[in-house]
Amino acid sequence: MGLDMYLEGELSPMGPPPGPQQDGFPVVKTVLELGYWRKHPNLHGYIVQTFAEGVDECQSIFLGKEDCQKIAKAILEDELPTTSGFFFGDSEWHDGFKEAHAKIFSDAVKWLDDGKVPDSSALRSVFYRASW
């Protein structure tokens, strides 16, 4: 048990029906794992406070391009608030991985930009969610 954190990219097919199918059913979306963290409560607290008005109910939190850029900057500039919670652990061990963690959000921005190609056949969205 503990804080598991996911950054997910969703591809939602666009276009006329029937569109792509899997096992005879329409594909509504494809989910990609853009990032994963275990017990990084300070990052979790920053995202919940900044983009979910402090509501922490393991809900999916939509993150736009500018949001991902803001998170990457906050990681690199040590602007993540100290956050605690039941089974959250601590964020100290993550200090050595700041660049790698910020890169995940920068890569998410690039991934979102790739969806702006005129002939793109899927809408791209990024969501953060956590569970414990």
Question: What pTM was estimated for this model as a whole?
Answer: 0.89
Examine the pLDDT at 119 and tell me if it is beyond 80. no
How many residues comprise the chain? 132
Examine the pLDDT at 48 and tell me if it is beyond 90. yes
Nearest Cα neighbor of 121 from 33, 27, 24 is 27
The per-residue pLDDT for 117 is 61
Instruction: Quickly count: other Cβ atoms within 10 Å of residue 65's Cβ.
Output: 15
Token pair for 128: 């953060």
Report CA dihedral (116, 127, 6, 86) to the nearest 10 degrees: 160
Higher pLDDT, 81 or 14: 81
Q: What is the mean pLDDT of the chain?
A: 90
Half-sphere exposure of 67 (CA within 13 A, CB side): 17
The per-residue pLDDT for 77 is 96
Query: How does residue 26 score in pLDDT terms, banded at 50, 70 and 90?
Result: confident
Examine the pLDDT at 18 and tell me if it is beyond 80. no
Half-sphere exposure of 47 (CA within 13 A, CB side): 29
CATH class, range 4-131: alpha beta
Query: How does residue 120 score in pLDDT terms, banded at 50, 70 and 90?
Result: low
Each residue's pLDDT tens digit, 58-95: 999 999 999 999 999 999 999 999 988 777 777 777 77
Distance of CA 19 to the CA centre of its chain: 26
Examine the pLDDT at 2 and tell me if it is beyond 70. yes
> For the chain, what are the domain ranges?
4-131
